[in-house]
Amino acid sequence: MKRIVLLRHGESIWNRENRFTGWTDVDLTDVGVQEAAAAGEALKAEGFAFARAYTSYLKRAVKTLDTVLDVLDRDWIPVEKSWRLNEKHYGALQGLNKSETAARYGEEQVRIWRRSYDVAPEPLAEDDPRNPVFDVRYNGVPDPYLPRTESLKETIARMLPYWECVIFPALKRENELLVVAHGNSLRGVIKHLKGLSDEEIVRLNLPTAVPYVFEFDEGMRLQNDFFLGDPEAIRAKMEAVANQGKR
């Protein structure tokens, strides 16, 4: 049996403030750090011993991973970071409060921006200081690959090559891998692994810092997937994510 655990980062400052975050590099809240530690404890109780881990370039995911590995006493394992695991880029929406945006543009429009499969928000202007071309961490990424906005479809398109060429092949060599990233980049992985339709993936809301376990046989065929934790508590966290775009 081989296993990959997908973990969305813990609560960030802008999660708490209900803002569109995207590629903005915001920190975890104290609650987010506690959520990450609790995820580590849940994984420890199940006997996970990861051989390798992957995360994005964004602080909220990196700190979540660091906390989990510390709880597991596996700080020493190899960790690889990639911009391809970054959150969906929300363009000009980044920094705006979701509820206030819903009051201005309507809940349906915000739902489309947040959860539609192939509609992207308005892009950042080329001279906007938030444009990733001005961020030193992306100096090695060719300009055409750096988004000024993204739909979920585009997020999956830039994430999937990394999954197929780096992460999934590593599972052939190792038994357990951990991927700590973001709601939308991880939804892309889930869509791919479970063969979900464009409509089905739009309805999936990932809670913060709840381990999602995928089990494969030796032939790398998916056998089972499940969240670690109390089902009712997880359902409540999913509903909270879904309700972020309401007035």
87 flagged as catalytic: yes
**SS3 per-residue string spanning 3-48:** EEEEEECCCEHHHHCCECCCCCCCCECHHHHHHHHHHHHHHHHCCC
Task: Report how far apart, in Å, the C-alpha atoms of 44 and of each of 72, 76, 155, 170, 211 are.
Answer: 6, 16, 31, 22, 11
Neighbours of 43 (CB within 10 A): 24
Residue 147 and residue 88 in contact, taking contact as beta carbons nearer than 8 Å: no
What long-range pairs does 197-204 form, CB within 8 A, spacing at least 24?
198/117, 198/118, 198/153, 199/117, 201/117, 201/152, 202/115, 202/116, 202/117, 202/152, 203/115
236's enclosing H/E stretch is: helix 231-242
Which among 9, 35, 89, 150 is annotated as catalytic? 9
As a whole number of angstroms, the distance between CA 136 and CA 157 comes to 23
3-class DSSP state of 166: helix
Catalytic residue among 11, 17, 41, 87: 87
Active site residues: 9, 87
